[in-house]
Amino acid sequence: MKTIRNWKLVVSVVMCLGLFGAGSAFPETRGVTKDAIQMGMILVKTGPVAALGLPEGWGIQDTFDEINQTGGVNGRKINLIWEDDQFKTPLSISAFNKLIFRDKVLSITCMGGTPQTIALFDLIDKHHVVNIPNALAEEFYKPHKPYVFVLGASYETQIELMFDYIMNDLKAKDPRIAVVYAETEFGKKGLEAARKRAEQYGIKLVSELVLNIGSVDASSQVLSLKKDNVDYVVTCNLVPPIITFLKTAEKYDYWPTTFGISWSCDDMVVKACKDASKNYIGVNFVGGWEDDTPGMKRVRELAKKNDRDPAKMLTSLYTIGVGTATVLAEGMKRAGQDLTPESYKDGMETLNNFETGGIVPPVTYSSTSHAPTTVARLYRAAPDKGVMAPITDWRSPKEMK
């Protein structure tokens, strides 16, 4: 009897040691196993603004798939779980909780948009969720948020570049500038930035008009701008309202130079508006679809390989997706074998002028700043080619007091 008891004791001790040993060899980390990494993504894929989320999500998905096909990150395959928030903050919060508590993901690539990310700041911090938000507001990095890494030029930078272009490249004398914006978080950020930059240049904005997403017509806005002899229209809006605006302006034979931020700097505007887009200039922090750079060549190949038709999607957003996934994967790689939320963050913070081959400008983060680059490029509509063609190199806004 005693022998049996001793034998059971020995087996139990051996099993415990075995388990302990296995645990020591691979300590349990949320979302990380020996050969896989669970990643989440919150991006709209159904509903009225799905056209924005889908191409970006495809870009991220395709890039991770490509990385998996070439061996993964440090031998681990990335398993991406895409949650649809329909661009609604409550859904975004529930998706976040599902990804963290049920799917136990290591991190979440993006949080849905500006309001969603702001609503999730506390949870991101609490659960140490490394992410690159698909929005560009200044409060994402001011004050410093340890787990939020902003990629791309902020709305403020983009608007500043538009004013700089008007004042320094076009050498406008007493320009009459108006702002047309969507009544959304990003639209209001753009308006604030335009007011600030106009003040720095000593200009008074002629008018500030709202053009909301889903507007049937922009006649009142266009007629009002025309009456006020506005020469330059700075917009902070999405592709559909910009198309409506440019087509309406053409109808009234009104041809101001119109500027758009990255969300509306897309070839689709040119394809839809044709000649109506001839005075349209966009600011963007990603390479042009036809750019002859290694990065953009890779983006085009990825799209082709995955049957993403550039004529049917917002190509600039697909490019942002590829850029986002490339940067996130590099951060993971730099975190090494011991991948945890903390080591992932540390890995991201070692990025110093990280080159994506022209997909996005060189990326730099540090332990004290996750601010995005301050460089972007200006593109002008080329109706004959149906594309937004670059008209400047990467540039930063002029330093002004």
Partner 1 sequence: MTEGAIYFLQLVISGIAVGSLYALVALGFVLIYKATDIMNFAHGEAMMVGAFVCYALVVAGIPFLWAVLMTTVIAMFFGLATERLILRPMIGEPQFAVVMVTIGLSIFLRSVSGIIFGHDNKIFPSQLSEQTLVLKGLVLSYTHLWAMLISGLMVILFFLFFRFSRVGLAMRGVANDQDTAMLMGISVKRVFALTWGLSFAIAAVAGIFLANVMVLNIAICLVAIKAFPAVILGGLESIPGAIVGGLVIGVLETLVGGYLDQTMPGVKDLTAFVVLFLVLMIRPYGLFGKKEIERV
Query: Which of 212, 337, 352, 369 is close enough to bind partner 1 by CB under 8 A?
Result: 212
Stretch of 35-43, 202-210, 289-297, 360-368 contacting partner 1, by CB under 8 A: 202-210
Closest to 274 measured CA to CA, from 137, 123, 200, 384? 384
Distance CA 298, CA 326 (A): 11
**Cβ at position 118, least distance to partner 1 in Å:** 21
The position carrying tokens 């020591």 is 24
Stretch that binds partner 1, among 118-126, 218-226, 323-331, 349-357 (CB under 8 A): 218-226
Answer yes or no whether residue 314 interacts with partner 1 by CB under 8 A: yes
Task: State which residue, 49 or 123, has the beta carbon closest to partner 1.
Answer: 49
Q: Count of residues binding partner 1 (CB under 8 A)?
A: 40
66: tokens are: 């490509």
- Residue 166 or 272 with smaller CB distance to partner 1: 272
Q: Examine residue 277 and tell whether it contacts partner 1 (CB under 8 A).
A: no
User: Which residue lies nearer to partner 1 by CB, 199 or 208?
Assistant: 208
Report d(CA 169, CA 106) in Å as an integer.
Answer: 46
Question: What letter represents residue 312's amino acid?
Answer: K
CB 245 within 8 A of CB 296: no
Look-up of token digits 């750019």: 291
Q: Give the binding range for partner 1 (CB under 8 A) out of 144-152, 162-170, 201-209, 277-285.
A: 201-209
In the bound complex, what is the minimum distance in angstroms from residue 282's beta carbon to partner 1? 16
42 φ/ψ angles, rounded to the nearest 5 degrees = -110, 110
The distance of closest approach from Cβ of residue 181 to partner 1 in the complex, given in angstroms and rounded to an integer, is: 8
- Which is closer to partner 1, CB of 191 or CB of 327? 191
Backbone angles phi, psi at 101, to 5 degrees: -90, -35
Using rule CB under 8 A, residue 251 touches partner 1: yes
Asked if residue 48 binds partner 1 (CB under 8 A), the reply is: yes
Which residue number, 146 or 383, has a Cβ lying nearer to partner 1? 383
Nearer to partner 1, 50 or 118 (CB): 50
Q: Other C-beta atoms within 10 Å of 109: how many?
A: 28
For β-strands 107-111 and 77-83, DSSP reports them as unpaired
Tell whether residue 224 is a contact of partner 1 (CB under 8 A).
yes
46: contact with partner 1 by CB under 8 A: yes
Backbone angles phi, psi at 191, to 5 degrees: -60, -45
**Residue 162 touches partner 1, criterion: CB under 8 A:** no
Stretch that binds partner 1, among 64-72, 136-144, 239-247, 285-293 (CB under 8 A): 239-247
Asked if residue 204 binds partner 1 (CB under 8 A), the reply is no
Among 125, 169, 199, 208, binds partner 1 (CB under 8 A): 208
Regarding 54 and contact with partner 1 (CB under 8 A), the answer is yes
97 binds partner 1 (CB under 8 A): no
**Among residues 220, 337, 352, 369, which is the contact residue for partner 1, using CB under 8 A?**
220
Residue of the chain from 90, 214, 294, 362 that contacts partner 1 (CB under 8 A) = 214
Question: What's the half-sphere exposure (Cβ side, CA atoms, 13 Å) at 331?
Answer: 30
Of 70 and 229, CB closest to partner 1: 229
Instruction: Please state the length of the chain.
Output: 401
Question: Does 217 sit near partner 1 (CB under 8 A)?
Answer: yes
Closer residue to partner 1 (CB): 49 or 391 = 49
- Which residues bind to partner 1, rule: CB under 8 A? 45-51, 54-55, 183, 207-210, 212-217, 219-221, 223-224, 227, 239-240, 243-244, 247, 251-253, 268, 271-272, 312-314
